[in-house]
């Protein structure tokens, strides 16, 4: 385990609530997507001629008919792209959070509790120590030991050696 692994796990733990918030926002956007309506797609496709001349008097060009027939496909494709963009941001965040939660669950009960209270619930060391009926020094020692264990797990999972 390197110092960089330790710094990264502390950064991830400090960012835990922010990651949860981002996941919540992206899940909402996925469930209630901003969609391109057929009307918006028709408007964006604009029925004007490519030469800038606008509509011709009296007849409809093949290009206009083609656009009108395919506007729904274009709208569906635009909406699928929006969904893909949301998923591309959401899935790595969910994976990161699930990974952290899983590794936290592998710690001893007191270590997990201290990590969650210190980094996620943002409690002070003296509050944690008081709740555990121990000294601040002991609570910090448990926290540091747990961070080291988490960093070892992450390092091992990424191809490093288990110390």
Could you report the per-residue pLDDT of 63-77, keeping only the tens digit for each? Answer: 665 665 677 677 778
Q: What is the distance between the alpha carbons of residues 35 and 147, in angstroms, rounded to a whole number?
A: 43
* Residue 108, in any domain of the structure: yes
C-alpha distances in Å from residue 108, one per residue of 114, 145, 150: 10, 11, 11
- pLDDT band with cut points at 50, 70 and 90 for residue 49: very low
- pLDDT band with cut points at 50, 70 and 90 for residue 159: confident
**Which uninterrupted H or E stretch holds 95?**
helix 62-106
Tell me the whole-structure pTM to 2 decimals: 0.70
Q: What is the distance between the alpha carbons of residues 34 and 15, in angstroms, rounded to a whole number?
A: 27
Q: Which two tokens stand for residue 88?
A: 């591309």
Number of structural domains (the chain) is: 1
* Residue 162, in any domain of the structure: no
List, in order, residues 6 or more apart from 109 with CB less than 8 Å away.
none
* Residue 163, in any domain of the structure: no
DSSP class of 123: -
* Residue 153, in any domain of the structure: yes
* Residue 41, in any domain of the structure: yes
* Residue 151, in any domain of the structure: yes
Range picked from 50-59, 69-78, 87-96 for highest mean pLDDT: 87-96
Q: Which two tokens stand for residue 157?
A: 């999972």
Q: What is the CATH number of the domain that holds 89?
A: 1.20.140
* Residue 31, in any domain of the structure: yes
Using an 8 Å Cβ cutoff, are 155 and 5 in contact? yes
Q: Residue range 78-93: average pLDDT?
A: 91
- The whole domain housing 110 covers 3-48+56-157
* Residue 43, in any domain of the structure: yes
């Amino acid at each position: 385990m390197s110092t960089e692994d330790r710094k990264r796990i502390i950064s991830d733990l400090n960012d835990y609530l922010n990651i949860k918030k981002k996941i919540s926002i992206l899940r909402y956007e996925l469930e209630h997507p901003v969609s391109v309506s057929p009307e918006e797609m028709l408007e964006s496709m604009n029925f004007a001629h490519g030469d800038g001349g606008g509509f011709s008097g009296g007849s409809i060009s093949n290009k206009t008919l083609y656009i009108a027939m395919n506007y729904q496909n274009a709208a569906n494709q635009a909406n699928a792209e929006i969904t893909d963009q949301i998923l591309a941001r959401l899935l790595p965040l969910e994976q990161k959070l699930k990974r952290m939660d899983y590794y936290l669950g592998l710690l001893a009960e007191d270590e997990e509790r201290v990590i969650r209270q210190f980094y996620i619930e943002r409690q002070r060391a003296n509050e944690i120590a008081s709740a555990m009926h121990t000294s601040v020094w002991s609570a910090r020692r448990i926290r540091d030991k747990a961070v080291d264990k988490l960093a070892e797990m992450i390092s091992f999972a990424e191809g490093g050696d288990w110390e």
